[in-house]
């Protein structure tokens, strides 16, 4: 028979292991509806299935500000921690998602583009509805004033004028959110997931944490001016895909080239170079994908810490990604990293 001290020691060890994680998965939703564009929607039935899976399989759903604080201050998180976010403040969040989230007792974050709310766009939430959700534990964060393509410059606009304009847009939205909800979280989701190094540097100087739309979990090595989130919409919200993604671990990328997502018009087949730190992943099973094809991995050193990938296809105007994954030693979970690319039109415009 086990002694009480031995039992307590085992329980303590299990507790420590359960809280030994330094990573989390952030989910990104837009519409929760049967009637909105499929590519940016999950149905209420799908959303309920997602939440039930998290509840039934031992996941910890934590408020996004708490997740960010713990990782940045090197505090342990429970393994399989998930944060739920919504972009664009659509009315279906209140009508369809909110009742289900309350039922499960799950916190969530809405990234709000304030113009749509303040001007009463037909498919947008209003401030009273958001206040109701705040009282129930929701976080309201910044998605800019007008949800524009922030990487675009207006005619004749130099870099400093452009940065000043974006600074004002983010600052104005944060002030409105603070006045309407009492929250000033300094968390900013890039509209369309689009950003470039000068803009990332700007929000870092402003004291904001930034969130993109490239896929993958977050960890201690992540860029906190552009944290990855898993978009949930259309085919990407299918249950088998959801299960894989919420169980992922961050591939430990310690360096990358280029730092920017922006495609040079003189080089539309760019090389992505990544350097990996050590970890529990099976390096020999590392695989990368992009533009609908498997990408050849070119290791640059004998230790296999740095590699390059490149597509033979030209990246077209719009947004695209290179994704790299490797199974853990058990083969049951995947390490994941995504780099997004952005190519503007010849006129310097981003595509919706």
**Any idea what DSSP says for residue 284?**
G
Per-residue pLDDT, 21: 82
Per-residue pLDDT, 122: 87
Per-residue pLDDT, 16: 37
One-character DSSP codes across 110-132: EEE-HHHHHTT-TTB--HHHHHH
- Round to whole Å and give the CA distance between 288 and 307: 11
148 contacts 115 by C-beta, under 8 angstroms = no
Per-residue pLDDT, 19: 45
Structure-token pair, residue 142: 């910044």
Strand 209-211 with 187-189, pairing: parallel
In sequence order, the 6+-apart residues with CB closer than 8 A to the CB of 182 are: 134
- Residue 203 region by backbone torsions, left for phi larger than 0, else alpha for psi between -120 and 50, else beta: alpha
283 contacts 301 by C-beta, under 8 angstroms = no
Low-confidence ranges of the chain (pLDDT < 50): 1-2, 4-19
**Any idea what DSSP says for residue 34?**
S
209: exposed, middle or buried (C-beta count within 10 Å: 0-12, 13-18, 19+)? buried
Per-residue pLDDT, 20: 58
pTM above 0.85, yes or no: yes
Q: State which H helix or E strand residue 189 sits in.
A: strand 187-189
Q: How many CA atoms lie within 13 A of 334 on its CB side?
A: 19
């Amino acid at each position: 028979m086990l002694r009480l001290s031995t039992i307590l020691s085992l329980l303590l060890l299990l507790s420590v292991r359960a809280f030994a994680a330094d990573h989390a998965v952030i989910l990104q939703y837009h519409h929760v509806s049967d009637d909105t564009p499929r590519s940016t929607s999950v149905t209420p039935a799908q959303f309920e299935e997602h939440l039930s899976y998290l509840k039934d399989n031992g996941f910890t759903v934590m408020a996004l500000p708490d997740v960010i604080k713990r990782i940045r201050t090197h505090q342990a998180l429970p393994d399989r921690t998930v944060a739920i976010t919504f972009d664009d403040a659509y009315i279906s969040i209140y009508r369809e998602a909110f009742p289900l989230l309350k039922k499960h007792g799950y916190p969530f974050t809405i990234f709000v583009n304030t113009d749509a709310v303040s001007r009463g766009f037909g498919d947008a939430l209003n401030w009273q509805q958001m206040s109701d959700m705040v009282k129930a534990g929701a976080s309201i964060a910044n998605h800019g004033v007008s949800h524009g393509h922030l990487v675009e410059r207006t005619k004749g606009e130099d870099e400093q004028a452009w940065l000043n304009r974006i600074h004002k847009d983010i600052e104005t939205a944060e002030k409105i959110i603070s006045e309407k909800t009492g929250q000033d979280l300094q968390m900013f989701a890039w509209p369309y997931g689009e950003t470039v190094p000068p803009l990332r540097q700007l929000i870092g100087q402003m004291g904001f944490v930034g969130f993109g739309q490239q896929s993958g979990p977050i960890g201690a090595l992540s860029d906190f001016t552009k944290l990855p989130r898993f978009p949930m919409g259309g085919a990407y919200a299918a249950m088998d895909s959801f299960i894989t993604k919420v169980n992922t671990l961050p591939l430990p990328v310690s360096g990358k080239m280029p730092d920017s997502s922006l495609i040079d018009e003189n080089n539309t087949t760019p090389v992505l170079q990544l350097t990996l730190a050590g970890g529990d992943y099976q390096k020999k099973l590392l695989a990368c994908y992009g533009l609908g094809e498997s990408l050849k991995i070119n290791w640059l050193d004998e230790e296999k810490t740095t590699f390059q990938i490149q597509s033979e296809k030209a990246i077209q105007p719009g947004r695209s990604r290179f994704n790299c994954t490797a199974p853990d030693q058990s083969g049951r979970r995947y390490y994941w990293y995504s780099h997004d690319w952005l190519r503007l039109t010849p006129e310097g415009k981003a595509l919706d």
